[in-house]
Amino acid sequence: MSKIILAVCALCLLSLAYGAFATSTDKVNIDVAGMINHGPMQPTVKAIKEVTSKYGDTVTVNWIDTTTDEGQKYLQDHGLSAHLNILINGNYKFNLDGKDVTFQWLVNGTWTKDNLDAVISDTIDNNGKAVPVNV
- The answer to whether the CB of 113 falls within 8 A of the CB of 86 is no
Domain ranges across the chain? 26-132
What global pTM score does this model have?
0.79
Enumerate residue ranges in the chain where pLDDT < 50: 4-24
pLDDT at res. 135: 62
Mean residue pLDDT across the chain: 85
Q: Does domain 26-132 have CATH number 3.40.109.10?
A: no
Burial class (CB in 10 A: 0-12, 13-18, 19+), 53: exposed
